[in-house]
Structure 1
Amino acid sequence: MNIRGFSSNMYGWFERWKSDGKEPVWDDLYRACAEAGLDAVETDATPEKLALARTFGLTVSASYIGLSLHGEYADLEAEVLPYAERLAAAGGTDLLVNADPYGGWKHPLPKPEELVQRQGDNLSRLADKLSPFGLQLSLHNHAADRHNAEADLRSVVHFADKAVGLCVDTGWAHVAGCDPVAWVRSYPERIKAFHLRNQRGRVPAEDVTEGDIDMRVLLEAAAHANYGGWIALELWHPPETNPARTMTEDVQRSIAFLREIVGNL
């Protein structure tokens, strides 16, 4: 199994810094990512952030944007294109978009099927717009309930052009009552990115080595799907996780664990 390398979403780092009573400034965060053994980070590739990341030997693998994908397409294009231009100029490969819930994050409602279809149409149009930049557009699952998680999945596999991929977030899929391994096995041609986090029920595990999700089985499924993209972590330590180690240590442990699995595939 040949992958591009190991990357990380930055949200968990940012939140962990705050919970540890530290000011989350980008140079400290990127330095810690490099010390943890990451090859890249997912970030908006502004000139300032790109220069800082490169200072510590990191590349930018992807940018991540939350969008009201079931809304008006013109609004989406206006928001996405600046991110895409910066990411392409930085040599990144993946633009990951997150579907805002219908009804808002505080009170999400079941997404109606006509909006699921509109979301798929909008994703197709965005993927076409990003093609000249050489970027892969993928939908990242973030819904915490089964109806909306499956609706967002359906917006891609039933309603979107084949150019639109899936970024499988294992943690959120599990929380929603879905099986991320089944998604990889069912839609191998759509799997273009991963956010890996393990879970103990609805509580995020400290690292990916233990929990309800069998990462070995997941990566075996990815190998069968001929996956060759980035393996990105999304470790997150809310208070109920009660972490015993630093984020740097947990990322190091996770990378070592995943590297061994990948090396044996």
Structure 2
Amino acid sequence: MDEHLLRVGDFLRRTRLSPKALRLYGAQGLLVPDRVDPRTGYRQYGAGQVERARLIGVLRAAGMPLATVRAVVDLTGTDRLAAVDAWWAGVEADLRRRRELVAYLHRRAEREDRAAPDRDGVTVREVPAATLLTVERRLTVEALDGFITSAREAIEEQLRTSGAARAGALRVAYHGMVTEDSDGPVEVAVPFTGAVDPADGLRVRRRPPGREALTRLTRAEAEFPRILDAYDVVARWCDDAALTRTGSPAEVYLSARDVAPDEPHLEVAWPVR
């Protein structure tokens, strides 16, 4: 036997991995034996694989997914550290989002315990009939921002090439919940005047006149998940005012995404009668 090869038992003792972990990392192509006996299937590992196995174990103990480990483990030096730091920054961002969602659940419970709903900032307005250029898609939350951006650009380009004039703010209507599991659908729409030919998934539809209850938010207030508070406040205000919510809620964009945090950014609007 090659003196530089380690039996499975010796390799496990040196790396402190379990047999289950060793089999998993082998199946994933992360830790492949240096030699496999073609007759018995007996595996042997190189002494140089010990440090690789320990690194994989530490990355997994930190919670790094196997797919990310695969991308990181073959890097060296500063490249590996940069990849680990980038992954960890994503973990911390996800933790902040989860923490904010838990805080939202507490605020929601507090609102439900109040005898009277929040009324400040909720108004009702008349909405005139309009012709909209729209695009609609089913998607989950990870694709939402990209879809809104690409849909807005496609709509604005079609309006320009058709010689039509934009006649109001961008509206993003949520015809169903958008989460990691629920896929909407979501509709992006812009009112316009003139003539536009539908193209590339875009369609023209007529919005009838009506009324909607709304509240206006700054950019800071419109950040997820703080924006969920606005949906709750408008919905409860409508129910308390005996107004029937008749359609899907929408976010009406008043400014670009790069405005100051305290500047008006969007309205959460709900059709009512």
TM-score norm. by structure 1 comes to 0.23
More helix by share: 1
In our comparison, the structure showing a higher alpha carbon Rg is 2
